Amino acid sequence: MKIVMYDFKTSADERGALSAVEGGKDIPFEIKRVYYIYSTKPEVRRGCHAHKSLKQVLVCMKGSCKILLDDGKERQEIRMDMPGKGLFIGEMVWREMYDFSPDCVLVVLASDHYDENDYIRDHVDFIKAAGHSRDHSP
């Protein structure tokens, strides 16, 4: 599976650091929604679903967590702990997030508004659907 990780433009000086992300430029979609996940308990597993058409970029702003990506053929684990990097997750990729540090803040930039109908929450349904889908990496 091709893992796409963006290195955002970061300006660091004696005051600290600033990273910038521009929709449609630094990431391959216009940003329609931003949400963030925090105060997640270390034993918790979040996600456990795929999206039919949503594209997202995940940025771990603080702390760390792990992300499992599954395209129906391969599974890969990615550790997230750098605020200047963004993990792209395209449509039809199963994702699970776990091993959150107590201070973890995971920010998600999304290509569309929230739509419960875009979720595939059953892994068997996902595997069936993924068998008919093409590679969606940018």
Enumerate the active-site residues.
49
127's tokens: 């595997």
Q: Tell me if 95 contacts ligand T46 by CB under 6 A.
A: yes
9 or 121, CB closer to ligand T46?
121
- CA dist 103 and 63 (Å) reads 5
CA distance 94 to 49: 5
Q: Indicate the helix (H) or strand (E) that contains 123.
A: helix 123-130
Residue choice 108, 109, 120, 130 for contact with ligand T46 (CB under 6 A)? 108
Task: Provide, rounded to whole angstroms, the least separation between the CB of residue 11 and ligand T46.
Answer: 27
What is the spatial distance between Cα 118 and Cα 56, in angstroms, rounded to a whole number? 13
- Residue 20 CB, shortest distance to ligand T46, in Å, is 22
In the structure encoding, which two tokens stand for residue 101, read together? Answer: 């540090």
User: Binding to ligand T46 by residue 66, rule CB under 6 A?
Assistant: no
Which of 56, 70, 107, 109 touches ligand T46 by CB under 6 A? 56
Q: What is the residue type of 77?
A: E
- Least distance in angstroms from the C-beta of 13 to ligand T46: 32
Q: Interface mask (CB under 6 A) for ligand T46, residues 26-45, using x and -?
A: -------x-x-x--------
Contact in structure between 77 and 57 (CB atoms under 8 Å): no
Out of 18, 114, 122, 135, point to the residue binding ligand T46 (CB under 6 A).
Answer: 114
Closest of 32, 53, 38, 54 to residue 97, by C-alpha? 38
Contacting residues toward ligand T46, per CB under 6 A: 33, 35, 37, 46-47, 56, 95, 108, 114
